[in-house]
Amino acid sequence: MNRKRVLVIALAVVMALIALGALTQLGPRRATAPGVSPELKGPEMLGRPNLDLAAEVRQGAQAPLAAPAPASPPTSGWSLISLDRMIIRNGSLSLKVADVVQTVAKVGDIVAAMPDALISASNLRREEGNLKATIVVTVPSAHFQEAMGQLRQLGLEVTGETVTSQDVTEEFVDLESQLRNQKTIEEQYLRLLSKATRIEDILSIQDRLNQIRGQIERTQGRLNFLERKAQMSTITLNILPFLPGKSGAWQPDKTVQEAFQNLFLALGRIADVTIYLAIYALPFIPLALILLWWRHPGRATGASQ
């Protein structure tokens, strides 16, 4: 019985201590005025002293501000998962056509009829006696497949076709998040700058403000670049003349003609080499005559007598 009484008393003491601790923790909450949240009562309720303005400015100027937590995704723009992914598409076509100049004109007509499309580069040249052209066309990404199909139909033969795709959705979303964080830090520096009174504090905060603004400009520039590249696609068009004589069928008359042409070219080169050698030998003719006379002077004297 004594043991049971001791256990009951010990249990009662423990329960009393627990109740006392609970009442102690609830005490400050009851002291709070009704309708006022402890988080809104100022720096004192957060367990830190009320810092003066100069100390706050010096602290903000000497130490970098902590990056804010990533904000929630925006409700509009490329970064929404519900929208199509951000894809950069480019293509190239190599065509053989009957008339290069006429095909270049048709490419211009196709581009003119397509909204927001343009010819960003054009090069018309003659190589090995044949006229060739290279055209770079920029079209909206929504009309990329349509433009490739219309340009493909211009050729008698398609000798090459390439389409490349690059998904930049993840990079774009990351850049958007970085930009929001950088703008938040900029606002914090602006608030510190408005409170600063010391010259050294103002200069220090202004320097950090310039740095964060440079980061904002670089991030915004990259975002604009990716958005433009995703909205517009580039098609590089190589236009070559279609030469029927270059087909795989055996043409003996063409072979004979080419053989005679090569023969005439070879004979002409041999004649050119002979002419060059004859001209280069002219300065050595007097030297050869003097050497001949020096080795056989008697013949020269006898001939004179």
**What is the tens place of the pLDDT at every residue in 275-299?**
888 888 778 777 777 777 777 665 5
With cut-offs at 50, 70 and 90, classify the pLDDT of residue 150.
Answer: very high
**Token reading at 25:** 């923790």
Is residue 128 scored above 50 in pLDDT?
yes
Dihedral (C-alpha) 225, 230, 232, 237: value to the nearest 10 degrees? 100
What is the distance between the alpha carbons of residues 254 and 82, in angstroms, rounded to a whole number? 63
What is the distance between the alpha carbons of residues 303 and 208, in angstroms, rounded to a whole number? 106
User: For residue 136, which of 231, 237, 230, 228 has the smallest C-alpha distance?
Assistant: 237
**What is the tens place of the pLDDT at every residue in 91-113?**
999 999 999 999 999 999 999 99
Predicted model pTM: 0.50
Backbone φ and ψ of 285, nearest 5°: -65, -50
Contact at 8 Å (CB) between 86 and 168? yes
What is the distance between the alpha carbons of residues 156 and 305, in angstroms, rounded to a whole number? 86
What is the distance between the alpha carbons of residues 45 and 35, in angstroms, rounded to a whole number? 16
Is residue 194 scored above 60 in pLDDT?
yes
Percent over 70 (pLDDT), the chain: 67
Is residue 236 scored above 90 in pLDDT?
yes
Q: Give burial (CB, 10 Å; 0-12/13-18/19+) of 287.
A: exposed
Dihedral (C-alpha) 210, 212, 214, 215: value to the nearest 10 degrees? 170
User: For residue 163, which of 235, 94, 238, 231 has the smallest C-alpha distance?
Assistant: 235
Averaged pLDDT, 146-174: 92
**What is the tens place of the pLDDT at every residue in 25-73?**
444 443 333 333 333 333 333 333 333 444 444 454 444 444 444 444 4
Q: What is the mean pLDDT of the chain?
A: 76
Q: What angle do CA 282, 284, 285 make, to 5 degrees?
A: 70
